[in-house]
Amino acid sequence: MNWPLVPQQFVTGLLNGGTIGLIALGIVLIYKSSEVFNFAHGHLVMFGAFLTWWFTGGGAEPGGALIDLPLWAAVIAALIASMGLGLLIERLALRPMTGQPLLAIMLMTLGLAQLLEGVTAVLFGVALKSNFPTPFSPSDVLVIPFPGAFGDAIRLKYTLVATFVVAVVAASLFIWFFNRTKTGLAMRATAESHEVARSVGIKVSRVFGLSWGIAGVIATLGGVLLATVSGVSLNLSTVALIAFPAILLGGLESLGGALLGGFAIGLVQALVQASRLIEVRNSAEIAPYLLLLVVLLIRPEGLFGQKRIERI
């Protein structure tokens, strides 16, 4: 360990973890209400980022933009569009699959992911878009004095702090929505048992649609946050894949667990980079998956998930 780097990496990792947790939340949301594990979520994240970028007029030549919205309006437009996309996906692709085995549903989301990837590439091009508008410039740095750290201070980019705040606020809002509002309670009831939910008058198919719509919104928000840090590209879907270890760590059924899992994954990724060994530093991209294997072998249900008891 390169100790002077640790405080900096610790805080950076925690801040990155907020976005990972928010992305993980979207997957858990769909899993909880409809038992569909959405492998296309990473691609929804990427698509949302591209949509926002397009709404800000990033794709057109300067002056001749078809649509040229300020960032906040572009985000809102993209959120609405992706909510529609989520509803559409549920209605056209997942509704016919109700009751099909796990493999078929999983492959359906994988097929959707491929389709989204191709469509994004055709619509927006494959090159990295570095002109994503950010409210702060990369040189805006918050310096917190911290004796013992590298340079006796922790440097935080404003962008990173802002994404963390947005991610945590949004995640808390969704968790509150899920636990306290009538619609949220209906979704939880559906997650518990489809038959029981039906018998108390909840329209299960509407809940499925709604959860996909909300998941689309969460994905786009996550995409915007990722894009402000690293620009818009097709790689964002791969970046979003590290939400999977976060979910398994937190437990498949736990929304709060997904958020905490995100923090843990962010921390692991950042702390690995504080190592003195180049091999360990290079392992930042697979460290979450190694952690995933360990979790699967030691505690497959995750930290906050339900333990599965099988009845014969």
Partner 1 sequence: MAVLRPAGDFDRSYKQDMALLRRPWHYWLLGVSLLAAFTVPLWGNAYVIATVNQVAYTIIVVQGLNVLTGYTGQISLSQAAFMLVGGYASALIVTHAGLSFFIALPLAALVAGGVGLLFGLTSLRVKGFYLVFATLAAQFIIPWMSRHTFKAYLGGSNGAIEAPVPRLGGLYFGEASNFVYISLIVLVITTVLLYNISRTRLGRAFVSVRDNDLAAELLGVNLFTYKLRAFFIAALLAGVAGALKAHSQRGVGTEFGYGLNESIIYLGMLVIGGLGTNLGPFLGVAFIILLEDLSDLLGGVLAAALPELSGQLLTSFRPIFFGIALILFLIYEPRGLAHRWQLLKAGWRLRPFSR
Q: Give the residues lining the site for partner 1 (CB under 8 A).
A: 37, 93, 96-97, 100, 102-104, 106-108, 110-119, 121-122, 124-127, 244-245, 248, 252, 279, 282-283, 285-286, 289-290, 292-293, 296-297, 300, 310, 312
Structure tokens at 288: 């979450």
Q: How far separated are the first and last CA of the chain, in Å rounded?
A: 49
* DSSP-derived 3-state class of residue 149: coil
Task: State the minimum distance, in angstroms, from the CB of residue 289 to partner 1.
Answer: 4
Mention every residue, 6+ apart, whose C-beta is less than 8 A from residue 246: 20, 21, 24, 258, 261, 262, 264, 265, 288
Task: State the minimum distance, in angstroms, from the CB of residue 247 to partner 1.
Answer: 9
Q: Find out whether 252 and 302 touch, Cβ atoms under 8 Å.
A: yes
From the CB of residue 293, how many other CB atoms can be counted at a distance below 10 Å?
Answer: 11
Q: How far apart are CA 158 and CA 140, in angstroms?
A: 6
Q: How far apart are CA 53 and CA 228, in angstroms?
A: 10
Sequence-ordered alpha helix ranges (H) in 35-125: 41-55, 71-89, 102-124
Task: State the minimum distance, in angstroms, from the CB of residue 122 to partner 1.
Answer: 5
Considering the complex, state which of residue 114 and residue 181 has its C-beta at the smaller distance from partner 1.
114
Task: State the minimum distance, in angstroms, from the CB of residue 37 to partner 1.
Answer: 6
Considering the complex, state which of residue 59 and residue 184 has its C-beta at the smaller distance from partner 1.
59
Considering the complex, state which of residue 125 and residue 135 has its C-beta at the smaller distance from partner 1.
125
Task: State the minimum distance, in angstroms, from the CB of residue 270 to partner 1.
Answer: 18
Structure tokens at 37: 């594990």
Considering the complex, state which of residue 7 and residue 21 has its C-beta at the smaller distance from partner 1.
21
Q: Find out whether 222 and 19 touch, Cβ atoms under 8 Å.
A: yes
Considering the complex, state which of residue 126 and residue 196 has its C-beta at the smaller distance from partner 1.
126
Considering the complex, state which of residue 67 and residue 280 has its C-beta at the smaller distance from partner 1.
280
DSSP secondary structure of 216-265: HHHHHHHHHHHHHHH-B-TTHHHHHTTHHHHHHHH-TT-HHHHHHHHHHH
Mention every residue, 6+ apart, whose C-beta is less than 8 A from residue 62: none
Question: Strands 153-157 and 141-145: what pairing?
Answer: antiparallel
Considering the complex, state which of residue 102 and residue 196 has its C-beta at the smaller distance from partner 1.
102
Considering the complex, state which of residue 113 and residue 259 has its C-beta at the smaller distance from partner 1.
113
From the CB of residue 183, how many other CB atoms can be counted at a distance below 10 Å?
Answer: 14
Task: State the minimum distance, in angstroms, from the CB of residue 43 to partner 1.
Answer: 10
Task: State the minimum distance, in angstroms, from the CB of residue 39 to partner 1.
Answer: 9
Task: State the minimum distance, in angstroms, from the CB of residue 220 to partner 1.
Answer: 20
